[in-house]
Amino acid sequence: MTAKLLEVREIAPNVRHFLFQVEDAPAFAYVPGQFVSFTAEINGSPITRAYSIVSTPSGRCFELCLNCVVEGKLSPYLFSLKPGDEVPMTGPWGGFIFRQPVEDSVLVATGTGIAPFRAMLKDILQRDSSHQFTLIFGVRYEQTLLYRDEFEELARKHANFRFWPTLSRPGPDWQGRRGHVQEHLPEAIGDRRDVNVFICGLKAMVDDVRTRLKAQGFERKRIIYEKYD
Ligand SMILES: Cc1cc2nc3c(=O)[nH]c(=O)nc-3n(C[C@H](O)[C@H](O)[C@H](O)COP(=O)(O)OP(=O)(O)OC[C@H]3O[C@@H](n4cnc5c(N)ncnc54)[C@H](O)[C@@H]3O)c2cc1C
């Protein structure tokens, strides 16, 4: 398959939101939480990387949210694309999706690890008002709270959704949560062990959250994770 870039915009320093269209299929069907794989030839070698879809299914279009890894191979290339440019892709892939039957869930993300949760929450909150969803989203600075307005709006509209942004390097005016996502997990979970916990981001955070949950007696099948590295 081929994805054509339609639009791109910067949503935080070094982070862009991309709108792509699948060129050679009448529609692009996927389950919110899944990812696509992009390939490009970089310095003569094909490089393939995975990217979580940040949008809910809509015809042939899908959206991504990317961080530019300065020393990286594929992400700087993707940042150099202009509308109209095309990239070979495969997908959708992955099983980082809400389990059936859906249960009360805590979603833990750092940085661009928020991407699958934007798609999953926009989708589930439209049709499920009986389960509780809590999103703990950790970043360093307030200006890198990706999609903050959208999550705040979802929390206003849906009584069963709690949005807990937390900053590890807050400015003097920040009134919200502070520190790493791990510090807010106990409050989100309390003494319940019948919730599913979804974790997405870089390995160090994901592994640390998994270790803590296991130590607290969580069943393995309730800890669902996607590691970006
Ligand atoms: C299932 C899956 C879904 C993913 N979804 C996304 C996504 O939605 N958005 C996204 O930006 N990336 C995502 N990634 C990471 C992505 O695949 C690439 O690893 C990333 O773009 C770096 O690739 P690169 O070739 O530029 O860097 P490489 O040359 O591969 O360098 C890798 C270095 O970049 C670091 N790194 C990887 N991803 C990130 C990141 N997001 N932020 C900061 N540092 C990172 C790694 O720790 C490693 O040190 C996902 C990875 C997986 C496995």
- The pLDDT score that the predictor gives to residue 209 is 98
Nearest alpha carbon to residue 209 among 187, 191, 195, 225: 225
- How many Å apart are CA 98 and CA 33, to the nearest integer? 8
- The pLDDT score that the predictor gives to residue 174 is 98
Name the amino acid, one letter, at 223: I
pTM above 0.85, yes or no: yes
Nearest ligand 1 atom, CA 75: 26
Name the amino acid, one letter, at 25: A
Name the amino acid, one letter, at 22: V
C-alpha distance from residue 215 to each of 46, 75, 220, 222 (Å): 41, 36, 11, 13
Nearest ligand 1 atom, CA 69: 26
- The pLDDT score that the predictor gives to residue 188 is 97
Is the CB–ligand 1 distance for residue 63 below 6 Å?
Answer: no
Is the CB–ligand 1 distance for residue 51 below 6 Å?
Answer: yes
Tell me if residue 183 falls in helix, strand or coil: helix
Half-sphere exposure of 136 (CA within 13 A, CB side): 26
- The pLDDT score that the predictor gives to residue 44 is 95
- The pLDDT score that the predictor gives to residue 68 is 97
Is the CB–ligand 1 distance for residue 112 below 6 Å?
Answer: yes
Instruction: Give distance in angstroms: CA of 78 to centre of ligand 1.
Output: 12
- The pLDDT score that the predictor gives to residue 227 is 98
* Ranges of the chain with pLDDT below 50: none
- How many Å apart are CA 224 and CA 98, to the nearest integer? 9
Instruction: Give distance in angstroms: CA of 191 to centre of ligand 1.
Output: 34
- The pLDDT score that the predictor gives to residue 64 is 98
Residue 120 φ/ψ, nearest 5 degrees: -65, -45
- The pLDDT score that the predictor gives to residue 206 is 98
- The pLDDT score that the predictor gives to residue 195 is 98
- How many Å apart are CA 11 and CA 143, to the nearest integer? 9
